[in-house]
Amino acid sequence: MLFHTFTFWTFFAVVASLYAMLRHRGQNALLLVAGYVFYGWWDWRFLILIALSTITDYFVGARIHSATDDPSRKRWLMVSLVFNIGLLGIFKYLGFAVAQVGSLAHLLGYTGPWWVPQVLLPVGISFYTFQSLAYTIDLYRRRIQPAQSLFDYATYVSFFPQLLAGPIERPAHLLGQVERLREPLNDQRFREGLYLVLTGLFRKVIIADNFALIADAVFMRPAAELSAWEVLVGVYAFAFQIYGDFSGYSTMAQGIARWLGFELMDNFRHPYFAQSPRDFWGRWHISLSTWLRDYLYIPLGGNRGSSWFTARNLMITMLIGGLWHGASWTFIAWGAVHGAWLVVHRWMSSSQVEAPETSPLPVRLLKIVGTFHVVCITWLLFRATTLEQAWIMVSKLTTDWRWTPFTAYALGMFATLAGPLLIYESWVERRGHLLALTHTHWIARAVVYLLIVIALLYLAPQRSSEFIYFQF
């Protein structure tokens, strides 16, 4: 079920109606059933996997909590790490790893057949695996208490608004909300949920799906046939596609959760207004970047050492962040470039960095434009199917600046769709509150909502696409 389909909203209407009539324990039971129906809608066989992951980490977590000595606690934590990373390894990386070994074998002279397993990737496995891992790791660190019951823990893992593409929630935040009584829906939460759902739909349907047509038209053509302008508009289109797609999902997940009495973390804070790579990762996919920081970068040593030691930790973190997105050299290269960018920026910055908001406006604008374009170059790696395609497309930017009708059409789409989005987000950015519109007069909100509805009715493309991050 996709958030922007009638099927999902019929499903949600049924769930929300029953939810309003039940008490706390009944609500949790309904959420658990709804989560499994929602996940099983894609492929019922994957229910076995999420149930196995839930049961394993719940009982391992109980062992970690009850163990009286550190060696025992560490052994049980290793059980969780091996199990969860093993699941990801089998379902997400096994085929890629075997294929790379086969390529190496052929380079060394092997000429026989090589079998590469074709493993079906369970939707959203990276998201709920990291969320479940956070539970056992936080128990090991004594930062949380164990779940009150397997029932509550299963509801935490399978909470359907954020199950398939995040945000990746922490147990201290989401599990606590599962276990506590929740207030009935009130005017404020309805108003905020409506804003989040409508703006999320706009980003997904109007921004992401329209720009997907442009990005696909570029990246599905032979790279050698493209002009430099076409490469540029293809990369820009993908930049807005992936932003609209992923931030749209996260925003709708927040809105749906809010209507059910839950608060999910902000996953995006206008990332294309970032002024540095560090600023970008404080605004983009925040739940993943903070997860990698807290459970990988800091345990590796963080910045508690020499500059070379810190650089190593940054590179390892970003390489694993790239690999988290998929088993492909393009994702590894994408992570490597971001890691190198963070390292270089850290070396070039003094220990006392001037706060971005105190810089003169022209300097801030220059930093924003520069950061955006470096991000776009990395998006080319992210979207390309092979490193060869990415290299050819980058090389095109040094020559062949032919102007084509397709380029003119694409730039018109940027002015029509991306321009108003950026203007609106700049207003929200200046207000300093992601829900700024909900604090304005109702007439202002009504005008914006009416424009969104008109856009959804008349500007939505005929072909819609699945959320990009479902594959991760």
- Residue-wise pLDDT for 145-188, tens only, equals 999 999 999 999 999 999 988 899 999 999 999 999 999 999 99
- The type of residue at 376 is C
Q: Which of 386, 384, 167, 356 is nearest to 274 (CA)?
A: 356
Contact between 202 and 456 under an 8 Å Cβ cutoff? The reply is: yes
Which is the catalytic residue, given 24, 106, 173, 325? 325
Q: Are residues 95 and 235 in the same domain?
A: no
Contact between 30 and 18 under an 8 Å Cβ cutoff? The reply is: yes
Q: Are residues 145 and 267 in the same domain?
A: no
Q: Are residues 119 and 206 in the same domain?
A: no
The CA distances from residue 192 to 35, 188, 444, 451, in Å, are: 23, 6, 14, 18
d(CA 368, CA 373): 9
Residue 305: per-residue pLDDT: 81
Residue 121: per-residue pLDDT: 81
Q: Which of 237, 229, 231 is nearest to 213 (CA)?
A: 237
Does the active-site annotation cover 325?
yes
Q: Are residues 63 and 95 in the same domain?
A: yes
d(CA 14, CA 16): 6
Q: Has residue 464 been placed in a domain?
A: yes
Q: Has residue 282 been placed in a domain?
A: no
Q: Are residues 172 and 192 in the same domain?
A: no
Contact between 8 and 163 under an 8 Å Cβ cutoff? The reply is: no
Q: Are residues 38 and 100 in the same domain?
A: yes
Q: Are residues 173 and 195 in the same domain?
A: no
Q: Are residues 108 and 177 in the same domain?
A: yes
Q: Has residue 283 been placed in a domain?
A: no
Choosing from 148, 182, 216, the residue where a domain stops is 182
d(CA 304, CA 190): 45
Residue 337: per-residue pLDDT: 96
Q: Are residues 270 and 376 in the same domain?
A: yes
Q: Are residues 174 and 205 in the same domain?
A: no
Q: Has residue 216 been placed in a domain?
A: yes
Q: Has residue 320 been placed in a domain?
A: no
Q: Has residue 382 been placed in a domain?
A: yes
Residue 350: per-residue pLDDT: 56
Residue 472: per-residue pLDDT: 67
Choosing from 157, 182, 207, the residue where a domain stops is 182
Domain count, the chain: 2
Choosing from 182, 197, 214, the residue where a domain stops is 182
Where on the phi/psi map is residue 285: left (φ > 0), alpha (ψ -120 to 50), or beta? left
Q: Has residue 13 been placed in a domain?
A: yes
Q: Are residues 26 and 135 in the same domain?
A: yes
Q: How many CA atoms lie within 13 A of 128 on its CB side?
A: 31
Taking 70 as the pLDDT cut, the residues of the chain under it are 350-358, 471-472
Helix 125-140 / helix 150-157 crossing angle, nearest 10 deg: 140
Q: Has residue 456 been placed in a domain?
A: yes
Structural domain including 204 reads 188-275+359-471
Q: Are residues 112 and 25 in the same domain?
A: yes
Provide the terminal-to-terminal Cα distance of the chain, rounded to the nearest Å.
16
